[in-house]
Structure 1
Amino acid sequence: MKRSILLSLALFLYTSGIKGQDVAYMDKVDSIDNLIETLYGVISGEKNEARDWELFRFLFTPEAKLIPSVKNKEGVYEVRYMTPENYSEAAGKWLMENGFYEKEIFRKTETFGNITHIFSTYESYKSKLDTAPFMRGINSIQLLDDGERWWIVNIYWTQETENNPIPKSYLPQ
Structure 2
Amino acid sequence: MSVNFQEKSCQIVIGDRKFGIYDAEDKTPAKIIDYDSDLCNARVTNEREVDILFTAIDNCIIINRPNGEMDNRCDAMLSYESNLLFIELKNKRDKWQSEGLSQIESTIKRMIDEIPDYYFDFKKRKAIVANRKNKFPSFHESNAEQREYFSSKYKMRIQFEAEINLK
Tell me the TM-score normalised to structure 2 length: 0.27
> Who wins on radius of gyration, i.e. which is larger?
1
Higher helix share goes to which structure? Answer: 1
Tell me the TM-score normalised to structure 1 length: 0.27
Higher strand share goes to which structure? Answer: 1
